[in-house]
């Protein structure tokens, strides 16, 4: 078994790497980082540097790695040093909007484009993309965060579209969008103060929830937008 985790250096990604090594005791895990080379070492773990904004780098990977049983994309961006998510339209900045698309939406489309053949198998395979509930249009009652929300909504539409195309081409592949819930990472840290008690998960809890969802999903579930508690999220 081979598992590829894109963004394995992130707060949630690293916990997914650890849980996969524990849970799938015979699996080889390949994980990517961009800026930070993680310290985690394991005989069945290999780290690769990958910048997901560089299509040529993504394109080279499938030839090198061969078939993949589970592909998880845990890359994402909510804020930078210069930009917090917008509270009002006056704060809208074109470059920040593009950056959100480049990190939250486009990489998962490129991964699907280049790993299509790697995920084609007689056995069940999984393509799991980390999204966010704030990307749900129906659920949007608060407004704000226009760049992040838009990029996750674009991601959701793209992955839903890919799941429909793959029902024919890759009938054994289960494509899922996963909402991790607010998880204690650098991405959410500036926004944790006013959370109701009990609503902040550790990355370990989030990773365990994701593995439970994978274990309980089949290609029949392909195209779903699923929350950490297993419930489906409205589009």
Ligand X SMILES: NC(=O)c1ccc[n+]([C@@H]2O[C@H](COP(=O)([O-])OP(=O)(O)OC[C@H]3O[C@@H](n4cnc5c(N)ncnc54)[C@H](OP(=O)(O)O)[C@@H]3O)[C@@H](O)[C@H]2O)c1
Q: Binding residues for ligand X, per CB under 6 A?
A: 7, 9-13, 33-36, 50-53, 74-76, 103, 130, 132, 180, 182-183, 185-188
Cβ proximity to ligand X: between 25 and 36 the closer is 36
We find the least distance from the C-beta atom of residue 75 to ligand X, in angstroms, to be 4
We find the least distance from the C-beta atom of residue 134 to ligand X, in angstroms, to be 7
137 φ, ψ (degrees, to nearest 5): -75, -45
DSSP string, 152-194: HHHHHHHHHHHHHHHHHH-TTEEEEEEE--SBSSTTTGGG-TT
Cβ proximity to ligand X: between 74 and 170 the closer is 74
Q: What angle do CA 107, 110, 114 make, to 5 degrees?
A: 140
40 φ, ψ (degrees, to nearest 5): -60, 125
We find the least distance from the C-beta atom of residue 31 to ligand X, in angstroms, to be 9
Cβ proximity to ligand X: between 24 and 228 the closer is 228
We find the least distance from the C-beta atom of residue 172 to ligand X, in angstroms, to be 25
Q: Are 46 and 40 in contact (CB under 8 A)?
A: no
Cβ proximity to ligand X: between 24 and 178 the closer is 178
């Amino acid at each position: 078994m081979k598992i590829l985790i894109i963004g394995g250096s992130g707060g949630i990604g690293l916990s997914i790497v650890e849980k996969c090594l524990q849970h799938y005791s015979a699996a080889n895990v390949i994980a990517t980082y961009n800026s930070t080379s993680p310290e985690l070492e394991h005989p069945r773990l290999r780290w690769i540097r990958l910048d997901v904004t560089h299509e040529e780098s993504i394109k080279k990977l499938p030839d090198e790695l061969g078939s993949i049983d589970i592909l998880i994309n845990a890359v994402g961006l909510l804020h930078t040093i210069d930009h917090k998510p917008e509270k009002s339209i006056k704060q809208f900045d074109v470059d920040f909007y593009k950056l959100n698309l480049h990190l939250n939406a486009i990489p998962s489309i490129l991964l699907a484009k280049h790993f299509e053949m790697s995920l084609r198998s007689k056995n069940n395979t999984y393509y799991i993309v980390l999204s966010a509930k704030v990307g749900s249009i129906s659920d949007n009652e608060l407004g704000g965060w226009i760049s992040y929300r838009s990029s996750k909504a674009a991601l959701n539409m793209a992955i839903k579209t890919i799941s429909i195309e793959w029902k024919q081409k890759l009938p054994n592949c289960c494509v899922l969008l996963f909402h991790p819930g607010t998880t204690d990472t650098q991405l959410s840290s500036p926004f944790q103060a006013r959370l109701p008690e009990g609503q902040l998960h550790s990355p370990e809890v989030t990773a365990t929830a994701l593995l439970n969802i994978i274990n309980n999903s089949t290609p029949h579930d392909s195209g779903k937008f699923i929350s950490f508690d297993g419930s489906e999220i409205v589009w």
